[in-house]
Structure 1
Amino acid sequence: MTVHPFIEAEKRDGHNVKRVCELLQVSRAAFYARRSGGPGPRAVRDAELTEKIAEVYEQSRGTYGAPRVHAVLQRQGEDCGRRRIARLMRNAGLQGRHRRRRHLTTIPDPRAAARPDLIIRDFAPAPDGLDTRWCGDVTYVATEEGWLYLATVIDIASRRVVGWSTADHLRTELVADALRSACRRRRPTRPVISLGSRLSVHQPAIHHPGNGVRRPPVRRSHRQCWDNALAESSFATIKRELLDTSTWPSRAVARTAIFDFIEGWYNLHRMHSSLGYRSPAEYETALAA
């Protein structure tokens, strides 16, 4: 910061530095910093914040942008604004992973039986508690061996991935395995579930499985095209923060990375803005308390 030369002259002549700085709207700290030749208090504070920002950014696996970094620092007792965090991140070359625009098209199954709409696009966290409303869908992961398919089941209340499975095919077992995984973990009492249109197209027998597969204890909700926005959003996060950051030499390597991301990061630590910048595990703990 450049200090007005009039202040220097007034200081030499014995005038009150405080009064002169007030008249010229220049801080006394800036004046003394200029005299000492060292950085001012704001520059020192920026350097301290930048170190803490870099630490939070690294802990987030390089995924957090300014809003989530700001939320973490607030929890740590740091008094700073979001715009300041954004400025310091830009200066340090730190950038969160942003959602890319995608145009998705789905084709509903005309043979699918009509079902009541039990979700009604209500994605508010925990209006009826945990394990009352689930959603699920399937996405595709490109590997050098070919496609790996990922099916997930998400608790709408806490955004937690309560069940998931991978396979090299789109047969009924893929989604049935994800549902069985969710039911084993959570022991729900017939939750409502909204499944993506891909499940309607590729898994018409998901609720009438043959070959001795037991029917999952869930109630199927009629799916509107907006109903699975939460599942699509979770897939966008997984792709943006994990799958699109690398090439995958094999399905096994991709599956191991997905396991680490979902079980070690997404469910336990990753902040969700819809949960008040809390992780699914943290939100469920607070809800239980």
Structure 2
Amino acid sequence: MGNPRARYTLEFKIEAVRMVRNGQSQAATAKILGISTQTLNAWIKADDAGKLNGAGKQVSAEQMEIARLRAELARVKMERDILGKSDGVLREGVGVKYAWIERHSRQWPVSVACQALGVSPSGYHRRKAVDVDPERPRQRISNDALLVHIRAVYAESKGEYGWPRVWKKLLAQGIRVSKDRVQRLMKLHGVKARTKRRFKATTDSRHNLPVAPNLLQREFSPARPDLVWTTDITYLWTDEGWLYLTVILDLFSRQVVGWSLKPHMRTELVSDALRMAWFRRRPEVGLILHSDRGSQYCSDEFQTLLKGYGMRCSMSRKANCWDNSPTESLWGSLKQARIHGRRFATRREAMDEVIDWLSFYNHGRLHSTLNYVSPMQFERSWYAAQRQQAA
């Protein structure tokens, strides 16, 4: 079965333990999930001790991200070392590698083996579809096992994903299943994304400050990163009072490149977000920054900062939220996923939740506009393609 710590997410382990707590026998649960009873028993004992792979420990979003990256690096290195010792398969052709993956599919997940051997999972499955014996019964993951994987992905997104993103995530994990089956199981067991709510705008355009023209004109698909950024302000309620959030969004990858959280809506809120974005990205002169007509964006302080960075200012038409719809969509996703139905005792608690979601959004959230990959993965793939073309 390999090293379970390298194969299973925390959410998967929690769901496995939950099945046993709800009356399923350990033997039946282990058989359904394709794990050993010893592994399952270890997870149950860890859960009893409050130590299920770190469950219950309070860590920052940054610490979580660093831990995930380190674990992934260690996993890939370990599996590449082990697979590299197997029958010289790394030195063979693609067909031999596919055959090796097929023989060891019960021991190693297909996605892991493909990654270690330098072949694509999609290519492996295409070859398998061609070579498969029509009389051979097709192996099919059980509904019980599939539901555990679904709940694990759903828990990992903290209830944000509906069936389309859950299905795409399962495919990315090497679980070959139809979208109709995922949709049917989620509906049957009440696994659904949080309901969307409307939220009022925070723009105060009742001022006599100069207003910039709309340079963006709803062209939301720039050709490369750091050509067009958008920005906006939203607010969250806590028991200590309002907390205001602004972000800087790169329209190419939809990545949040800068943000600021403060208990007020003064110009400092938007200026600090812009400073963060500029120091992180250092864009070329001429970048368009699009916003609404709020007094913070029209202020002399903010406009001076823009000119100092060599950026061009663009503003939406009056009372027209569609001119900045990508950022408005971001607010809807954030509040649907983490804010609606929550009560925050302090501003600090709300800030931690927002920063955690922003990290998840940039690194892991599957974005429908980007063909269901995360903003950072989309940007990395684009840069890799540019380097390949230049080579």
TM category, shorter: 0.7 to 0.9
Counterpart among 211, 217, 220 of residue 123 in structure 1: 220
- Unpaired runs of 5+ in structure 2? 1-137, 385-391
Distance 1:42 1:91 in 2: 23
Q: Does 1:256 align with 2:349?
A: no
TM-score normalised by L of structure 1: 0.76
Amino acid at match of 1:111: N
Instruction: Point out the structure with the larger helix share.
Output: 2
How many Å apart are 1:55 and its aligned residue? 1.4
How many Å apart are 1:257 and its aligned residue? 1.6
Distance 1:205 1:243, change over 3 A: farther
Counterpart among 130, 152, 165 of residue 247 in structure 2: 152
Residue matched to 1:284? 379
Distance 1:201 1:180 in 2: 15
Distance 1:43 1:92, change over 3 A: farther
Q: Contact 2:204/2:295 (CA < 8 Å) preserved in 1?
A: no
Counterpart among 151, 174, 179 of residue 77 in structure 1: 174
How many Å apart are 1:104 and its aligned residue? 5.1
Q: Contact 2:203/2:292 (CA < 8 Å) preserved in 1?
A: no
Q: Does 1:269 align with 2:345?
A: no
How many Å apart are 1:202 and its aligned residue? 7.4
How many Å apart are 1:284 and its aligned residue? 0.8
Calculate percent identity across the aligned residue pairs: 36
TM-score normalised by L of structure 2: 0.57
Distance 2:326 2:338 in 1: 18
Distance 1:187 1:219 in 2: 15
- The C-alpha deviation readout for 1:68-121, integer Å capped at 9, x for no partner, is 011112223333222221110122221112322456596644634343322110
Residue matched to 1:196? 292
Counterpart among 149, 165, 170 of residue 52 in structure 1: 149
Amino acid at match of 2:316: R
Q: Does 1:229 align with 2:322?
A: no
Distance 2:198 2:331 in 1: 13
Distance 1:46 1:189 in 2: 52
Residue matched to 2:232? 137
Counterpart among 311, 316, 331 of residue 218 in structure 1: 311
Residue matched to 2:11? none
**Count of aligned residue pairs for this structure pair:** 243
- The C-alpha deviation readout for 1:239-282, integer Å capped at 9, x for no partner, is 1111224211111111122112112x111001110000010111
Distance 1:248 1:105 in 2: 20
Distance 1:55 1:105, change over 3 A: closer
RMSD: 2.6
More displaced, 200-209 or 248-257?
200-209
Distance 2:181 2:284 in 1: 47
Alignment of 1:170-181 (within 5 A): 170-181=265-276
Alignment of 1:89-104 (within 5 A): 89-101=186-198
Counterpart among 332, 340, 343 of residue 247 in structure 1: 343
Q: Contact 1:171/1:202 (CA < 8 Å) preserved in 2?
A: no
Residue matched to 2:104? none
- The C-alpha deviation readout for 1:40-89, integer Å capped at 9, x for no partner, is x9997322221211111111122110000111122233332222211101
Q: Say which SS state the counterpart of residue 195 (structure 2) adopts.
A: coil
Q: Say which SS state the counterpart of residue 242 (structure 1) adopts.
A: helix
Residue matched to 2:282? 187
Distance 1:258 1:46 in 2: 34
More displaced, 79-88 or 43-52?
43-52
How many Å apart are 1:203 and its aligned residue? 5.3
Q: Contact 2:267/2:296 (CA < 8 Å) preserved in 1?
A: no
Distance 1:107 1:148 in 2: 17
